[in-house]
Amino acid sequence: MKVPPKYFLRFLRWFCCEEYLDEIEGDLTEVFIKQSETSPRKAKWNFGWSVIKYFRPEFIKSFKQHQPNRYGMYKSYFKIGWRSLLKSKGYSFINMSGLALGIACFLFLISYVRYERSYENFHSNADNIYRVTLDLYQGEEFLVTDCETYAPFGPLAKEKMPEVIDFVRLMNNDNTRVKIGEQKYLEERSYFADSSVFTVFSFKALHGTLQGALSKPHQVVITASTAKKYFGETDVVNQTIEARGGLYKITAVIEDVPANTHLKFNFLLSHVTYPKIENHYTDQSWESGNNEYTYLLMAPGTDIIAFNKKLTDLSASLKDKINEDRFSAEPIKDIHLYSNKTYEPEANGNARTVYALLLIAIFIMGLAWVNYINLSTARAIERAREVGVRKVMGSARSQLVTQFLTESIIVNVIAALMALGIVKIGLPFFCELTGQPLMDIFQHNSFWYSLVAILVVGVVFSGGYPAIVLSSFDPVSVLKGKFRSSGHGQWLRQGLVVFQFAATTILIICLGAVYLQIKHLQNYDLGMDINQTLILRAPDKDQADSIFQSKYESFKTELLRDPSIQVVSNSQSIPGSGSVAGLIEMSTTQSVFQVGKDKNGSSFNYSHYPIDADFIPAFSMELSAGRNFEAGMENQNYVIINEEASKSLGFLSPQEAVGSKITYRIWPSDHSIIIGVVKDFHQRSPKENHIPMIFRYYPGLSGYVTLKVKTNNMEKTIDYAKRNWDNLFPSSPFSYFFLNEKYNQQYKADAQFGVVMATFSVIAIVIACLGLFGLSSFTILQRTKEIGIRKVLGGSVTQIVQLLSRDFIKWVLVASILAIPLSFIIIGQWLSTYAVRIDLSAWIFIVPLVIIVLISILTVSIQTIKAANANPVNSLKTE
């Protein structure tokens, strides 16, 4: 018999309403059969054409009425979902607390990453502001990039380059003393700034106008909190403060500088003041050194690569003035995370750290989702009968999927709410942990976006797979009881456990390496001794040099009378200067060379280090050749250099350097004789390579006074020093710190990273173990009868524990072993950024592995031992 074309028939049946289907399909078939006796082809064609003609509103069924009462169904999904959560409270709790922890960590870390990437965003021109830095070269060899550049560069760039709209120069004025009436303050952060600072950057005025606020000499703009500190109120326009070089009139008060900028300050002095108070300086001279942070406001859409090329050409044309230095520009938004050059205004963040944390966040979220997937699919057998009955009762697969997805929505939403609670409670701790002001994270849209994204991805990703698995059961075999074990998706579950523990092991291994590296840096032989070293800030010079000098001498004599004080030294800089925030930077000079040698042969940045004769003994530094300065002698023409400088000056050995003469490009008539070469010590952190340094004899009493102390009663020594200080320098504040503490601040960022990582690693372990705990307890529940029978037949407790644990421990072991090569690569990458680093011993890998295996054995055995000790009667008496 002829059959009408199947596809058209199916189409007809799909759209046509039941009421007319009998008539239409019947008549069509009859006509078709009659027609196909004469011409089958035409009949088919006709049939199709007719079907299409029926596709009109009168005959199309209402698809809306397909599910008569959707609301009722959803209500039922929620009810059933809720009940199944309550039915097994233990698993639900493990599921939800794991998820909540994961979500909370993720939100924390995302907020942190957002904050780290938000630097400079508050400037409305942020995308068009570039900082010009100075690349220092020796010949063609790149040495280092200095963030500060020459004073005349800004005006020159604006004049010569059409794409430069404006420039602003800021000159560092760290550690300046401020006097308001009789009150004295030491301010760490301030700058001499061009008046364009307010047009290029976006600072908001609270009082006064910013227009031309810094255009005249002796003007100052201060921040609100500084104003409060000085005057107790913010409306202080037209008041005066006494700072470096005299009185300054306050022309405006601005809002506090946000925390997420690299350029922080308490006040800005007008740049035009500087040439007036420092007579060696003019801002037209290339000879005044490179001490200006220079920012350019560029026309929107400027190509930075092309612009940098132009800067290189410009540098070449200025060769007679700046030697081989090259200008280069970087977007200010990149400064915080990517710059890390020398003389940064503040310690930068590290993009690598930020992305590492982002990776950890994703890891932890993944762990939590894996828990959900594992527990839901493992429990499949419990739900199998329900699925079977539902299917028999006419439930479509899509409805079952919806039901399981609803459950996952319930779990995820509750977990998200718990996570919000955790975030709220944990926020102060997190702020302390990261050292960043993140208290306002709830106010950022991105926080809520990521929460919603996590929820959606979580529901689809973690709920989707179990939903598909559970809804796929064949009702006949399930109801007959053929569906035995939850072997379904076994490989996936094991794979996921492997993933979890591999991730956790990697975290722990990396954590261990970070810890050891920081420890290593702190205990590293710095080439000097900075323990038991008390540093005082040198007193203000408010009297004639000679009087002052004699006062210092008597202060020193007094101090040395105390048996606990061994050496007293005065120097412009101290170890840590130049890399520890808050310490006076070292001044640098380029182009130092041997007398009679090629001028351009050496354009290293040499650090200038004015010291007295006691400096080298105070820090227990060693001389590899020559001698130290002698106090009370004429030392004016002598210098001491370090080994690095000896190398870069072209001496073959320290011995050769001693007795040679060096000179400077800026002061060609100034010849200095090298009398000694000091062994390299880590002036900056051991993270970095040694820098070339030149020590000159200058007991001028500025900078710092170093006290080498040997005592068990530090308090008493400090007290003694303070008493003498107050006698001799009553007008100067006595401010001191311990050098080792200050110096170790350089590792603060690393240490903080370590602590953050430790915290989140612990959370990751907790989540992974929660999952393992749930999974093992469930599997054991499945095997209760088996355990009972084994015991009845004579299996010992040990054997049963072994049997039950073996499966899990096996996979944990596989995971840990997989983790080793991965973490090896990661640690290697991270360590490569340090000049001084630990050797990777096998222990770094073995110890975490053992820890992980022990923890997982512990987790699993809590369950297995309980199960093995249970009385077999209890498990066997019921069927």
Partner 1 sequence: MTQQSLGEFEELVLLMVAAQHDEAYGVTILEGLEEKLDKKVNISAVHVALKRMEDKGFVKSRFGGITEDRGGRRKKFYVITALGKKMLDAQYDLRNSIYKQIPKISFG
Is the Cβ of residue 13 or residue 424 nearer to partner 1 in the bound state?
13
Distance CA 103, CA 87 (A): 24
Min dist CB 47 to partner 1, Å, is 10
Is the Cβ of residue 7 or residue 49 nearer to partner 1 in the bound state?
49
Three-class SS state of 252: strand
Min dist CB 61 to partner 1, Å, is 14
Min dist CB 22 to partner 1, Å, is 5
From 53-61, 550-558, 655-663, 862-870, span contacting partner 1 (CB under 8 A): 53-61
Is the Cβ of residue 62 or residue 712 nearer to partner 1 in the bound state?
62
Min dist CB 7 to partner 1, Å, is 15
Give residue 86's identity as a one-letter amino acid code.
Answer: L
Do residues 497 and 807 touch, judged by C-beta distance below 8 A? no
In sign, the C-alpha dihedral spanning 266, 268, 269, 275 is positive
Min dist CB 464 to partner 1, Å, is 41
Min dist CB 484 to partner 1, Å, is 42
Q: Note the helical H segments in 458-489.
A: 463-471, 475-480
Min dist CB 63 to partner 1, Å, is 20
Min dist CB 41 to partner 1, Å, is 16
Is the Cβ of residue 62 or residue 832 nearer to partner 1 in the bound state?
62
Pull the structure tokens for residue 225.
């909190």
Do residues 467 and 405 touch, judged by C-beta distance below 8 A? yes
Residues whose CB falls within 8 Å of the CB of residue 1, separated by 6 or more in sequence, listed in order = 33
From 48-56, 63-71, 332-340, 783-791, span contacting partner 1 (CB under 8 A): 48-56
From 52-60, 178-186, 253-261, 750-758, span contacting partner 1 (CB under 8 A): 52-60
Distance CA 177, CA 266 (A): 12
Min dist CB 64 to partner 1, Å, is 21
Is the Cβ of residue 12 or residue 298 nearer to partner 1 in the bound state?
12
Min dist CB 461 to partner 1, Å, is 46
Phi-psi category of residue 636: left, alpha or beta, with phi > 0 → left and psi -120 to 50 → alpha: alpha
The residue within the footprint of partner 1, chosen from 53, 89, 482, 877 (CB under 8 A), is 53
Tokens 């035995």 sit on residue: 484
| Residue 83 parent element (H or E) | helix 70-87
Min dist CB 44 to partner 1, Å, is 15
Pull the structure tokens for residue 276.
């007036």
Site for partner 1 contains 186 (CB under 8 A): no
Is the Cβ of residue 20 or residue 429 nearer to partner 1 in the bound state?
20
How many Cβ atoms sit within 10 Å of the Cβ of residue 624?
17
Min dist CB 19 to partner 1, Å, is 10
In eight-state DSSP terms, residue 461 is I
Instruction: Give the burial string for 51-61 (b: 16+ CB within 10 Å, else e).
Output: beebeeeebee
Min dist CB 12 to partner 1, Å, is 11
Pull the structure tokens for residue 673.
């004789």
Q: How many CA atoms lie within 13 A of 127 on its CB side?
A: 5
Is the Cβ of residue 57 or residue 632 nearer to partner 1 in the bound state?
57
Instruction: Give the burial string for 830-840 (b: 16+ CB within 10 Å, else e).
Output: bbeebebbbee
Is the Cβ of residue 49 or residue 82 nearer to partner 1 in the bound state?
49
Three-class SS state of 584: coil
Is the Cβ of residue 42 or residue 480 nearer to partner 1 in the bound state?
42
How many Cβ atoms sit within 10 Å of the Cβ of residue 332?
25
Pull the structure tokens for residue 411.
């779990």
Min dist CB 26 to partner 1, Å, is 3
The residue within the footprint of partner 1, chosen from 8, 54, 363, 465 (CB under 8 A), is 54
Site size toward partner 1 (CB under 8 A) is 21
Residues whose CB falls within 8 Å of the CB of residue 368, separated by 6 or more in sequence, listed in order = 98, 99, 101, 102, 103, 767
Q: Note the helical H segments in 489-595.
A: 490-522, 545-561
Site for partner 1 contains 58 (CB under 8 A): yes
Do residues 153 and 327 touch, judged by C-beta distance below 8 A? yes
Pull the structure tokens for residue 9.
């028939």
Among candidate residues 353, 199, 328, 191, the one with its CA nearest the CA of residue 273: 191
Q: How many CA atoms lie within 13 A of 49 on its CB side?
A: 8
Among candidate residues 529, 574, 614, the one with its CA nearest the CA of residue 736: 574
From 47-55, 236-244, 428-436, 601-609, span contacting partner 1 (CB under 8 A): 47-55
From 49-57, 86-94, 639-647, 806-814, span contacting partner 1 (CB under 8 A): 49-57
Is the Cβ of residue 38 or residue 832 nearer to partner 1 in the bound state?
38
Is the Cβ of residue 46 or residue 446 nearer to partner 1 in the bound state?
46
Distance CA 318, CA 329 (A): 17
Pull the structure tokens for residue 393.
């009762």
Is the Cβ of residue 6 or residue 482 nearer to partner 1 in the bound state?
6
Min dist CB 68 to partner 1, Å, is 25
Min dist CB 36 to partner 1, Å, is 12
- 298 φ, ψ to 5°? -105, 160
The rounded Cα 706 to chain-centroid distance in angstroms is 35
Is the Cβ of residue 25 or residue 585 nearer to partner 1 in the bound state?
25
Is the Cβ of residue 1 or residue 393 nearer to partner 1 in the bound state?
1
Is the Cβ of residue 30 or residue 303 nearer to partner 1 in the bound state?
30
Distance CA 541, CA 529 (A): 29
Distance CA 769, CA 424 (A): 25
- CA dihedral (711, 716, 720, 723) in degrees, to 10, reads 160
| Residue 851 parent element (H or E) | helix 843-869
Is the Cβ of residue 20 or residue 82 nearer to partner 1 in the bound state?
20
Between strands 592-594 and 638-642, the pairing is unpaired
Return the residues of window 2-41 that contact partner 1 according to CB under 8 A: 4, 20-31, 33-34
| Residue 371 parent element (H or E) | helix 351-378
How many Cβ atoms sit within 10 Å of the Cβ of residue 573?
23
Is the Cβ of residue 49 or residue 93 nearer to partner 1 in the bound state?
49
Do residues 207 and 236 touch, judged by C-beta distance below 8 A? yes
Return the residues of window 396-455 that contact partner 1 according to CB under 8 A: none
The residue within the footprint of partner 1, chosen from 5, 11, 48, 50 (CB under 8 A), is 50
In DSSP terms, which residues pair with 623 in a beta bridge? Answer: 678
Is the Cβ of residue 56 or residue 280 nearer to partner 1 in the bound state?
56
Site residues for partner 1 per CB under 8 A: 4, 20-31, 33-34, 49-50, 53-54, 56, 58
